[in-house]
Amino acid sequence: MTENIVWHDQTVSRAEKEQHKGHKPVLLWYTGLSGSGKSTIANAVEAKLFELGCHTYLLDGDNVRMGLNKGLTFSDEDRIENIRRISEVAKLFVDAGLIVSTAFISPFKEDRARARSIMNKGEFVEVFIDTPLEVCESRDPKGLYKKARAGEIPNFTGISSAFDVPEQPEIHVKTAEQSIEQSVEQIIGYLREAGIIEI
């Protein structure tokens, strides 16, 4: 029943929040295979932004599944709901004026498109952490690929579940060809060029 729900406008405007924080709000949506380096790079970028005086928040896939999305499985249906919820949470953080990072596999292009659609124009920045499957599998920091290959983990992205490669991401990071530091500079460089940060 939503007919009795009315959006309540806030006293403090988006423009006032932006001026107060000294940068534009944006959602950096990191997507890529398990082990691609999403969380590592997202954390490094956040640390750099914090060093520059920006107001940030990082939503990590595993962390969110321990609370907000606890109980959701890795079925296609639950993956969709996982991303829907995190999209709405990220939108709230952006509305608060923050530079928000989300580090999720988010394998389906429809889900990423839906996340983009609820944001204001220019506030959704897709960051494709493009790491070849064989590199991700050789890293296997959590031992998940080994379990997936053994049939112990169903619906594992890249093995038994599809990953829709982003067609036109705002930022395309090839981790097999550059260091973490270079990846961070690439992303920070984009934010400067886009006028999101001026420092």
**pLDDT (tens digit per residue) in 47-85:** 999 999 999 999 987 788 888 889 888 888 888 898 899
How is residue 13 written in tokens?
A: 């405007």
- Active site includes 34? no
Considering the candidates 106, 138, 160, 183, report the single residue annotated as catalytic: 106
177 has a pLDDT exceeding 70: yes
Helix, strand, or coil here: 124?
strand
> What are the structural domains of the chain?
20-193 (3.40.50.300)
- To the question of pTM greater than 0.85 for the whole model, the response is yes
The amino acid sitting at 179 is S
Assess whether pLDDT exceeds 60 at residue 1.
no
- How many other CB atoms are there within 10 angstroms of residue 121's CB atom? 6
pLDDT band at residue 30 under the 50/70/90 scheme: very high
What are the structure tokens assigned to 34, written together? Answer: 């398990």
The 26-31 sheet, strands edge to edge: 56-60, 99-103, 26-31, 124-130, 171-174
d(CA 23, CA 165): 30
User: Residue 39 has which token pair?
Assistant: 């969380």
